[in-house]
Structure 1
């Protein structure tokens, strides 16, 4: 399952990147893809002995692909704050560690170590908020932070994390993040930040794709000089024409 998800993710990224290059070969791009894939994101006792629990440990995935090896991700964030289940209940990540009631009885997201590509477990830390419920165990924001120069092109990882009140509960299939329009944010080490909502791909999958333009090349000194000279002559000719 892990291998299939990784292959599918990288195929999607490669196809997207190729499309960008074909459309504008002078400006390559780096693509970040995040997905939620699986039949459920919990190992709740309500699902005891149910095989769909196997999907929970690598339900979430993030991959970075592109041609610019100077681009590194500093952090990624998931924002559940704008969604209201049935119009009133706030969605949140369930990290209360309650036995048998959330994913892996966890107090935070659980990295699937077998899924790591180009990253080490020690490269990844996480932070949460406590605004909505005044509790770090029911955050609406989940942010992963990466060690400097660790999360670059070609790297990826997957993890498990339970949610409550995101479209369906306790069985929350991958399409729920698209239905809820969960916002995903990428912050690069250079400070650039990009955000976009998840969209539904299938009954068990949602995805968000963010395209990051590569840094534009710096013009050669003679090119800059030529441009300035052309502008200067243009202004001079306009002045002469007005006087005539």
Structure 2
């Protein structure tokens, strides 16, 4: 009888291990539907150890194939297409224990004209070394930097590219950030916030613009008067009619 229980225990362990090792990667479909409903894809292949999500689309824009690897300690992901690049790492145990998603070392580069068609003055957006903890209700913690290229035209229609840098944070479960032009912060600076529904608020100002308007009017302006203040929904902004 003792050997029977030992054999039964070993059999259960073996079967459980085999099931876990060969667990299909498509088991993440409910997770994707809950956290990333705007993302569409053609197929999910492989196992949790090495998987692939083929032909990913966001708002009818093709992103490419997402490849993943899992080694018990961390979850790695990588996506590369001619207009979009993304890689990073995640920790699945945070989600299993607290239902929170933790990602780190995330880098991305976006230069798709379709994505950026509503803001033609921006030719590139990228993120560097981003770490973030979030769940379905919002953002809890984030660090890292965002970068962008702002294209401007001079008096002779010459094209100038200004670098924009930004820092990220979380407040009241919203993603927040400050941005500024570099090396001259007088060109533009401001801040923004985005909630879990992708509703955003943005405020920016330009000391150079204020100075030019003041000279034209021959009257100093309050630095707060010409601020840009806009709000809306990011998904609707980029892909709405």
Task: Calculate the TM-score normalised by the size of structure 2.
Answer: 0.30
Q: Which structure has more RCO (C-alpha within 8 Å, separation ≥ 6)?
A: 1
Return the structure number with greater strand share: 2
- Hey, which of these two has a bigger chunk of helix by percent? 1
State the TM-score, normalized to the length of structure 1: 0.30
